[in-house]
Amino acid sequence: MSFAFIKHDTNIDFVGGRRLAYGLSVLLFLLGIVAALVGSGPKLGIDFAGGVIVQVQFQQTVDDNALKKSLDIPSLPGITTQRFGDTGRDFLLRFSQTNSGDATQLRTTVVETLQAAFPDNKAEIQRLEVVGPKVGSDLTNKALSALYYSILLIAVYISGRFEQRWMAGAAMAAALWGGVYVVGLTGVGMGWLVLVALGITLVVCFVLRLNFALGAITALIHDVAITVGLLSLMGVELDLNVLAALLTLIGYSLNDTIIVYDRLRENLRAAPKMDFAGIINRSVNQTLSRTILTSGTTFVATLALFLLGGGVIHDFALAMLIGVLIGTYSSIFIASPMLLALGDTTFYVSLVQKENYERPGEHGIV
């Protein structure tokens, strides 16, 4: 006797709820923009902004305000304190870039200051990291480039995989890479450069009718933008750990999207005259069990990291938790329903027929 997590005859009208889903996505996106614009933008960690981070542990509990006041001295500018763990004895101290890049001198200054402020409560420095402004700027540029080029290469792969247009995808990638390189010579900031390049990528996909690639890229941009926006709203610092989580989420979200696209292609072969909205619903429902189980197990594992992994991995786990939910949602409500707005059944059936002609004898889900 077999057990199915989701019944095979499940028929949820996901396409019918797409407008509500679009509205929710716009709302979350706007919340992220407001969170970024109300302050000075996303809260960058020292990996990107530069500065000093010190992890200290006291023998006894310490009041946050007293600790911050004791370290508010000219040699340690821009002090912020964050309780680390649940004991009340561990703290993360952050400073803006100091005049001295000598880690030994910084350690001595922090230890002497804490000893003077808390003579009966010994403090031990467990970690001290210094990142210069130049290194932070380089890491920021490389992080943005990594996000952009990962999405661009995904567009090329999906264009060839689902639409048999490898040359169009490669030409798009070459043109955009050249454009980014040329515009970069003008000194435009990497952030604006990546935004412009992403915009051009979307326009090129639309003009060339690379619909599968356009749907997948839109969903990935949707996932990254909303995740970063929610993290900014929660005051989470964006550092290399969060970047690693974002790149991981791109992979998870893309995996879900490709699974649905594969099943959609097979259903187009089986029922080419069926209403396209019905084909999309059938495909999403048929892959729903796999989507929920894959995302669910990832969510449970990440939740364990979030609750038990400690402060060092806290932000990574939080970004993963948010991203897994947003990525699953976008694979169901964004990537696939967008295909309905970009083309009709005849257009997608022609792609399947072209694939069957160019690759005869291939059947089944890849």
**Which pLDDT score, from 0 to 100, does residue 361 have?**
47
pLDDT 10s digits, 5-43: 566 667 788 888 888 888 898 898 888 777 767 765 567
Q: Which two tokens stand for residue 200?
A: 């051009």
CA dist 165 and 150 (Å) reads 19
Q: Which of 256, 255, 251, 228 is nearest to 318 (CA)?
A: 228
- Domain 15-43+135-358 in CATH 1.20.1640.10? The answer is yes
pLDDT at 365 over 50: no
pLDDT 10s digits, 228-270: 888 888 878 787 888 888 888 888 888 888 888 888 888 888 8
Instruction: Kindly give the interhelix angle for 211-233 and 133-163, rounded to the nearest 10 degrees.
Output: 150
Locate the domains of the chain by residue range.
15-43+135-358, 51-131
CA dist 92 and 127 (Å) reads 9
Q: Which CATH architecture has domain 51-131?
A: 2-Layer Sandwich (3.30)
| Residue with tokens 């083309």, as numbered in its chain | 343
pLDDT 10s digits, 83-108: 776 667 788 777 776 555 567 777 87
Query: How many residues comprise the chain?
Result: 366
Q: Is the pTM of this model over 0.85?
A: no
